[in-house]
């Protein structure tokens, strides 16, 4: 395609005509308040298709376009090929109100978006004088000898330069380029956000932003379907519903979304669902389990003496030993998960800075479940744990640990009275003679099975998803199974289990071990 250089005067006149005559007509044609604004998105780059680069621009644009009330009709991912891009952009430009492209507008040989869009619009590439001068200023005295300046400045003939502003109100140096209803965004994730802001300031003048409400349900999707179908009929034309089941969350089974440009309709739909859904099936999720965690825990234990005792034992230990003299034994099970949260809250109450000094010991014995490994990894991030893993049996691992960390004098453990060998122990007790010498702190020693789940689920503490699939006590993978007492259905070898917290008889807890 030929590249034509336009003089500054002609360029100024063309831009003036474009901004004051063509652009207003185009906006009036497509952007009336009553019309639906549709969007086609084209993600461009060989590196996306061959997996060398992770595509973060697509989810970003989906989020921003939906928030802005723009309906996405199609998203395409294309290679750096002029004909492929031109064909897709041409089709989308006719079908959609606007088209956004992302990527392929750099200085190298494989940056072909400007050329492809020019071809889609039946135009030539021209060197835009304003753009050229901007790049010359940026690259300095050697700009005239650099072919990158010519390539970056060569845009479709009727293109418009849209300049945004930074947070201080200053005009951004390099503009967003648009042709007709096509906006060409950069592919660099850190730059696309600024370009999208420019797009919004130049385009989103007439539409209402989309309102979205998320509803989290403890109900499964099968049980939800009849109620949802009625709601879809009742609110047709006003609300768009979405239903998304999950199998990896502890506190909800379905996320239901309500979308509309009118918040009043969302409120009506939500009220309807509140009336139709079973009581307590709507779950109010905590965005951050550690936000106000200490206050919430102390409020919970007020009327529960066994929980109060656990806190008392923990606080006494933290008063007796410095933070560098205690550690917490953690293996991802339900008991030590509750213990970890309890100790965390007590440390935060006493002195939050001490938390980083407390070591967390994970003794990994035998083959573990992938779910346990993933949960431990997420716990390390959630609680910002000073984490140490030692492979081997408990006795030898403690010996290795104490040799490396001789300052440690006490270890918090999630042992309970029903565990083997724990029956005659106290909340604070020294290890046996043939064990490495250390003081064992057992705050939840007298907690029952139901106490653990009351504490955990009342505070929405994350726990391993195996417990939601019928496991009640976790050991090595080869010696652990789903608890038969929680079996709900067995149809042709497909077995469905209740979650661990619904176990009726706590004496059946260890039926998960064999």
Q: At what angle do helices 334-350 and 293-300 cross, to 10 degrees?
A: 110
pLDDT of residue 148: 84
DSSP secondary structure, 126-188, as one string:
EE-HHHHHHHHHHHGGGGGG-HHHHHHHEEETT-EEE--B-TTSPBPSSPEEEETTEEEE-S-
CA distance 495 to 464: 20
Residue holding tokens 């060197």?
127
To the nearest whole number, what is the mean pLDDT of the chain? Answer: 88
Classify the phi-psi angles of 222: left when phi > 0, otherwise alpha if psi is within -120 to 50, otherwise beta: alpha
Say how far residue 330 (Cα) sits from the centre of its chain. Answer: 25
Classify the phi-psi angles of 132: left when phi > 0, otherwise alpha if psi is within -120 to 50, otherwise beta: alpha
Residue holding tokens 């003679």?
433
Q: At what angle do helices 305-320 and 449-458 cross, to 10 degrees?
A: 80
CA distance 358 to 380: 13
pLDDT of residue 132: 87
Residue holding tokens 């290890």?
431
283-316 tens-digit pLDDT: 999 889 999 999 999 999 998 999 999 999 999 9
Q: Using only the alpha carbons of the chain, give its radius of gyration.
A: 31
Strands 439-441 and 38-44: unpaired
CA distance 215 to 229: 16
pLDDT of residue 96: 93
Within the chain, which residues score under 70 in pLDDT?
Answer: 1-35, 141, 143, 204-209
Q: What's the length of the chain?
A: 514
pTM confidence score: 0.69
pLDDT of residue 421: 81
User: Please, what is the end-to-end C-alpha distance for the chain in angstroms?
Assistant: 74
pLDDT of residue 12: 42
pLDDT of residue 24: 43
Q: How many Cα atoms occupy the beta-carbon half-sphere of 268 within 13 Å?
A: 12
pLDDT of residue 423: 82
């Amino acid at each position: 395609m030929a590249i034509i250089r336009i003089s500054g005067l002609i360029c100024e006149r063309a831009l003036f005509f474009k901004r004051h005559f063509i652009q207003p007509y185009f906006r009036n044609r497509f952007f009336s308040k009553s019309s639906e604004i549709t969007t086609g998105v084209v993600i461009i780059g060989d590196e996306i298709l061959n997996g060398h680069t992770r595509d973060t621009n697509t989810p970003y644009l989906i989020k921003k376009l939906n928030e802005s009330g723009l309906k996405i009709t199609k998203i395409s991912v294309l290679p750096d090929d002029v004909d492929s891009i031109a064909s897709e952009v041409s089709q989308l430009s006719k079908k959609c109100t606007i088209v956004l492209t992302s990527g392929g507008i750099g200085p190298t040989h494989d940056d072909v978006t400007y050329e492809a869009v020019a071809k889609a619009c039946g135009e030539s590439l021209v060197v835009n004088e304003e753009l050229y001068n901007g790049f010359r200023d940026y690259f300095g005295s050697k700009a005239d000898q650099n072919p990158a300046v010519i390539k970056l400045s060569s845009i479709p003939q009727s293109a418009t330069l849209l300049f945004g502003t930074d947070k201080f109100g200053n005009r951004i140096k390099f503009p967003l380029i648009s042709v007709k209803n096509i906006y060409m965004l950069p592919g660099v994730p850190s730059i696309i956000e600024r370009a999208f802001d420019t797009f919004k300031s130049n385009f989103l003048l007439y539409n209402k932003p989309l309102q979205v409400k998320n509803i989290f349900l403890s109900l499964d999707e099968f049980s939800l379907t009849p109620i949802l179908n009625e709601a879809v009929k009742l609110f047709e034309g006003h609300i768009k519903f979405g239903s998304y089941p999950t199998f990896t969350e502890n506190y909800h089974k379905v996320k239901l979304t309500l979308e509309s440009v009118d918040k009043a309709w969302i409120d009506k739909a939500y009220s309807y669902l509140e009336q139709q859904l079973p009581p307590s099936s709507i779950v109010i999720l905590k965005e951050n389990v550690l936000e106000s965690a200490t206050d919430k825990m102390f409020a919970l234990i007020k009327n529960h003496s066994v929980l109060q005792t656990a806190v008392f034992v923990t606080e006494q230990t933290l008063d007796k030993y410095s933070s560098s003299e205690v550690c917490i034994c953690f293996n991802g099970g339900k008991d030590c998960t509750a213990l970890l949260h309890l100790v965390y809250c007590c440390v935060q109450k006493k002195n939050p800075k001490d938390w980083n000094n407390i070591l967390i010991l994970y003794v990994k014995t035998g083959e573990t479940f992938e779910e346990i490994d993933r949960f431990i990894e997420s716990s390390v991030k959630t609680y910002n744990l000073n984490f140490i893993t030692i492979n081997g049996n408990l006795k030898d691992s403690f010996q290795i640990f104490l040799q490396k960390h001789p300052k440690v004098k006490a270890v918090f453990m999630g042992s309970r009275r029903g565990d083997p060998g724990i029956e005659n122990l106290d909340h604070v007790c020294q290890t046996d003679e043939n064990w490495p010498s250390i003081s064992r702190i057992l705050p939840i020693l007298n907690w029952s099975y139901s106490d653990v789940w009351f504490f955990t689920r009342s505070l929405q503490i994350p726990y391993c998803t195996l417990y939601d699939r019928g496991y009640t006590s976790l050991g090595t993978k080869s010696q652990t199974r789903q608890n038969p007492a929680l079996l709900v259905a067995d149809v042709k070898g497909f077995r469905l289990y209740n979650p661990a917290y619904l176990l009726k008889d706590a004496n059946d807890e260890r039926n998960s071990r064999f």
